[in-house]
Amino acid sequence: MNDFLEQCRQAVGAPHVITEPADMAGYLTDWRRRFTGRAQAVIRPSTTEEVAAIVRLCNEFRVPVVPQGGNTGLVLGSVPDESGQAIVLSLNRMNRIRAVDTINNTMTVEAGAILQQVQVAAADAGRLFPLSLAAEGSCTIGGNLATNAGGTAVLRYGNTRELCLGLEVVTAQGEIWNGLRGLRKDNTGYDLRDLYIGAEGTLGVITAAVMKLFPQPKVRLTAFAAMQSADDALQLLSLAQGKCGATLTGFELMSDFCLALVAKHFPQLKSPFPDRYPQYVLLELSDSESEEHANAMLEAVITAALEQEVIQDAVVASSIAQSKGLWNLREHIPLAQAEEGKNIKHDISVPISRIGDYIRMTDQRLQESFPGCRMVTFGHLGDGNLHYNVSAPENAADEDFIKRQPEVNKVVHDSVHEFTGSISAEHGLGALKRDEICRYKSDIEMGLMRALKQALDPKNIMNPGKVI
């Protein structure tokens, strides 16, 4: 008889302590299906008190806890290691919207709520919850907070951290910290909230949060522009921000090679331009006034950019269908890339002003070491965040190229470091980049991080082997 699991069953009810391998399987393999870990059990509490009871037992029995939301992470942060010692603490039964306050512009949600469910609840109340990313139909708000998720609206609304006002957390000792404050201003001590956000479950378990809401924009308008270089795209960004202020909510860069891949694998998705150009940008405005107003604003940006020869061509979507078509070009890049074969992905950021130089320099370094490799470069230019992906040369075997991933990573990440950038802009460190980060962070920073981990989780039971 396993005393630990028996007490867990008493705490949450036997049906919610899963130990059958077939039933556990979905919780043990990561989203990209690259790794499968092992666990003693998957435990699914339904209240904060139950989470606390389970963590207290883990603390007592020194059982590692792997908190898990939608398990859509990309850096092996939400699956256990191969030891079989850990439990997976699934938050997916804690999925209530506890409160919506349309005057305070906040909602209180439990960690296991699916992002899309949160977006819909906000919309039902006539408000916008702006966090939006590819996995929104599966990922949870708790996972978004634990990884400080980014997405497509960061330019205007910030990362998940900026969208959160307060947290409820179960500490590594199984105590409940109620920090569910819906305040815009509160200077009463250390910023515990932002310490738990982005800690990937290694300091405690986020069980609920107060998130910010915004007025819904009246109209969204999309445009697509063609230009000679990433530097010109940066000039367009400055110009658009100057004329549109916070109305500019999206600014996505993609290279000609990206669009060529989309056209090759999805022939129905065509570039809106008769000619080809080295780079393209998708712009999105979210306007609180009217379609006419948004249109006039966007036209003014494009006219000025054409006059100044910052761009060579542009279209403004004249219908929702056309706007969807332009977004489709951007959203099909990862799919087209997958059709083309395996590649080596990077989620990097650099200061926005250095993006042009970064791409030039790193492309060149890669060509020197891996002649003929093909660059699939696109991303959230407005945030300095690129998906800087590298495909095998045209006639090379994917498998041979993928074997050289550590070398490719090193060239790309060394270059990021030289440009004072980040080797994980959106995705976190998880188990995947935990060692890699030690190459780039100073001993002092690693030492500070270790001191915090030691202070809040001295027994190292919270998601061990991740982040630090």
Site for a second copy in 144-163 (CB under 8 A): 147-148, 150, 154, 156, 158-159, 161-162
Instruction: Report how far residue 221's alpha carbon sits from residue 215's, in angstroms, rounded to the nearest whole number.
Output: 17
In a 3-state reduction of DSSP, which class is residue 200? coil
Q: Which stretch binds a second copy (CB under 8 A): 116-124, 265-273, 399-407, 452-460?
A: 452-460
Q: Would you give the distance in Å from CA 157 to the centre of its chain?
A: 14
Q: Answer yes or no whether residue 454 interacts with a second copy by CB under 8 A.
A: yes
Q: Answer yes or no whether residue 421 interacts with a second copy by CB under 8 A.
A: yes
Select the residue interacting with a second copy from 3, 185, 319, 394 (CB under 8 A).
185
Instruction: Report how far residue 171's alpha carbon sits from residue 177's, in angstroms, rounded to the nearest whole number.
Output: 7
**339, 262 in Cβ contact below 8 A?**
no
Q: Answer yes or no whether residue 392 interacts with a second copy by CB under 8 A.
A: no
Q: Which stretch binds a second copy (CB under 8 A): 64-72, 232-240, 328-336, 367-375?
A: 232-240
Q: Answer yes or no whether residue 188 interacts with a second copy by CB under 8 A.
A: yes
Using CA atoms, how far residue 262 sits from 24, 201, 319, 332, 398, in Å, is 37, 37, 22, 6, 19
Q: Which stretch binds a second copy (CB under 8 A): 114-122, 136-144, 243-251, 392-400?
A: 243-251
Nearest to 339 by CA among 224, 404, 258: 258
CA distance from start to end of the chain = 34
**Single-letter amino acid code for the residue at 39:** A
Q: Answer yes or no whether residue 260 interacts with a second copy by CB under 8 A.
A: no
Positions 281 through 300 that interact with a second copy (CB under 8 A): 286-289, 297
Q: Answer yes or no whether residue 267 interacts with a second copy by CB under 8 A.
A: no
Minimum Å gap between C-beta 384 and a second copy is 5
- If one counts every other C-beta atom within 10 angstroms of the C-beta of residue 263, the result is 16
Positions 432 through 451 that interact with a second copy (CB under 8 A): 433, 437, 440-442, 444-445, 448-449, 451
- CA torsion sign for 141, 146, 151, 154 is positive
Minimum Å gap between C-beta 184 and a second copy is 4
**394, 328 in Cβ contact below 8 A?**
no
Q: Answer yes or no whether residue 310 interacts with a second copy by CB under 8 A.
A: no
Select the residue interacting with a second copy from 184, 264, 270, 360 (CB under 8 A).
184
Q: Which stretch binds a second copy (CB under 8 A): 29-37, 177-185, 257-265, 272-280?
A: 177-185
**Single-letter amino acid code for the residue at 404:** R
Minimum Å gap between C-beta 424 and a second copy is 5
Show the binding pattern over residues 340-379: x = contacts a second copy (CB under 8 A), - = does not: ---------xxxxxx-------------------------
- Percent of residues in the chain assigned helix, strand, coil, to nearest 5: 40, 20, 40
Q: In terms of CB distance, is 247 or 271 closer to a second copy?
A: 247
Tokens found for residue 245:
């202020």
Instruction: Report how far residue 109's alpha carbon sits from residue 199's, in angstroms, rounded to the nearest whole number.
Output: 19
In a 3-state reduction of DSSP, which class is residue 406? helix
Q: Answer yes or no whether residue 215 interacts with a second copy by CB under 8 A.
A: yes
Q: In terms of CB distance, is 50 or 391 closer to a second copy?
A: 50
Minimum Å gap between C-beta 176 and a second copy is 7
Instruction: Report how far residue 382's alpha carbon sits from residue 18's, in angstroms, rounded to the nearest whole number.
Output: 44
Minimum Å gap between C-beta 440 and a second copy is 8
The pairing of beta strand 313-316 with beta strand 385-391: unpaired
H or E segment and range at residue 100: strand 97-101
Query: 286 - beta bridge partners?
Result: 220
Minimum Å gap between C-beta 42 and a second copy is 26
Q: Answer yes or no whether residue 49 interacts with a second copy by CB under 8 A.
A: no
Select the residue interacting with a second copy from 4, 31, 61, 177 (CB under 8 A).
177
Positions 82 through 101 that interact with a second copy (CB under 8 A): 101
